[in-house]
Amino acid sequence: MIRQSETRNVQEVNSFLPGCSSPIRLYFRQRPKQTKRRMAHIHEKIDFTVAIFVVHEGKVLLVHHKKLNRWLPLGGHIELDEDPEAAALREAREESGLEVELVGTRPPISEEGTRALIAPRFLDIHRISSTHEHIGMIYWARPKGGVLKLAEAEHHELRWCASQDLDKLNPPLSGAVKWYCLQALAELGN
């Protein structure tokens, strides 16, 4: 949707163009109203994403993604106005209702203008289409609050899975997701 700008914006622009006798009309493209998600792919070839493997009482939380028809960890795109850590916390909350604590070491940096982040446990790059890839930042996490709630628009189901449950999922887990699940369970198991 395109709308004409307000008159004051036109006057402001004319003040920067001395001697211009014709009024200048500015038009702005309005972003469509979006519900929960603010963005999808923002870069032409590569986007940055987070995946959060939440472990509690020897089980890892997975979601059955509607669009992809796959079992996946919580996760999604890192938005333009956030860092990877903030994206991981937001995605966990949006997709599960849980507040989580990311697992890892935060460097003890206290210099002005520098904020240390918890590093992802792993990084990967995975193909989305023949022309687009995601660089995934894979985090381990533990729940610290909230109430588990299905994001019905995105997922068929949320499920806590022990290691012996991973091979029973339908559709089957990808090899990469299964490996990350097993690693997270081995490291955070109890």
Using one digit for the tens of pLDDT, what is the confidence trace for 82-109?
999 999 999 999 999 999 999 999 999 8
Is residue 22 situated within a structural domain? yes
Q: Please calculate the CA angle 183-185-190 and round it to the nearest 5 degrees.
A: 145
Q: Quick one: 1 and 91 in the same domain?
A: no
- The domain tally of the chain equals 2
Say whether both 65 and 122 belong to one domain: yes
Domain that holds residue 22: 1-33
Domain identity same for 50 and 128:
yes
Q: How far apart are CA 141 and CA 130, in angstroms?
A: 32
| Cα 154 from Cα 180, distance rounded (Å) | 22
Let me know whether 94 and 144 are in one domain.
yes
Q: What pLDDT does 26 receive?
A: 41
Whether the full predicted model's pTM is greater than 0.85, yes or no, is: no
In this structure, the answer to whether residues 97 and 164 fall within a common structural domain is yes
Higher pLDDT residue, 11 or 128?
A: 128
Residue 41 lies in a domain: no
Residue predicted with more confidence, 43 or 148: 148
